[in-house]
Structures are given as structure tokens and as C-alpha cells.
Amino acid sequence: GAVVSQHPSWVICKSGTSVKIECRSLDFQATTMFWYRQFPKQSLMLMATSNEGSKATYEQGVEKDKFLINHASLTLSTLTVTSAHPEDSSFYICSASGTSGFWTGELFFGEGSRLTVL
């Protein structure tokens, strides 16, 4: 199956710093990528949808200036958590959707990035 890679898988940072998480589709072109956030023992919450070459669409309640999303190419999307605070600590997961040849609706998920803000 298609592979989506996330990096880093684990990051610890000081409060006030910014952290960038990368999401790459390794063997297909991802026209659309989705970023999810997951708190412990909870479900995945959609943060934003990004289409290659255009601005991301954020879900209600997600600060776009806080969570900067860039989808500059068909194989890479990045999520930057700016001026991170302890409440931003979470598990961030990206998923990617391809073009033709993929089943409608099927998404491929990265392995997730665990962010801990001290």
C-alpha cells in the first residue's frame, strides 16, 4: 500500500519555540493532505485540510496563525506549531489522499508525531 512518512516521530521542545512536522507521501502524489490531532485516550480531531498549492482550510476552533500548514508540493506538507505551549502537547497525525487509482475516500496515515512542550 501507499506509504506516508512523518518526521519527527517524537519531539520535545521548550515553551515559546516553534516546531515543524513534515508529512511526506513516499510513493504517490498527494493532492490533499489532512492534519489531525489526538489527545490521550481520545479520538482523532481534524485540524485542517490542505491542497497542494493553495491555502489550508482550518476547522473551527483551530488557530491558523498558531498551526501553520504548508503544502508546497505533491509529496510534502508541513505543520508548524508556532510559539508552542504545554497545552499544544499532543499526537499529530497526517494523512494523504492521492489522485486517480485510489479508492474514493481512502486515506493513508503517517505514523504520527508526538509533541511534548515543556
Partner 1 sequence: GESVGLHLPTLSVQEGDNSIINCAYSNSASDYFIWYKQESGKGPQFIIDIRSNMDKRQGQRVTVLLNKTVKHLSLQIAATQPGDSAVYFCAENMGGNTPLVFGKGTRLSVIA
Chain contacts with partner 1 (rule: CB under 8 A): 1, 6, 31-32, 34, 36, 41-46, 49, 51, 91, 93, 95, 97, 103-112, 114
Map residue 12 onto helix, strand or coil. strand
Please, which residue, 79 or 110, has the CB nearer to partner 1? 110
Q: Which is nearer to partner 1, 44 or 68 (CB)?
A: 44
CB of 40 to partner 1, least distance (A): 10
| Grid cell 507521501 in the structure block, residue | 25
User: Minimum distance between the CB of residue 16 and partner 1, rounded to whole angstroms?
Assistant: 26
Nearest residue (CB) to partner 1, 15 versus 42 = 42
User: Counting beta carbons within 10 angstroms of the beta carbon of residue 34, is it exposed (0 to 12), middle (13 to 18) or buried (19 or more)?
Assistant: buried
Q: How many helices (H) and strands (E) does the chain have?
A: 0, 11
Q: Whole-number minimum distance, CB 17 to partner 1, in Å?
A: 23
Please state, in angstroms and as integers, the Cα–Cα distance from residue 46 to each residue in 1, 37, 60, 63, 101, following that order: 23, 6, 10, 13, 24
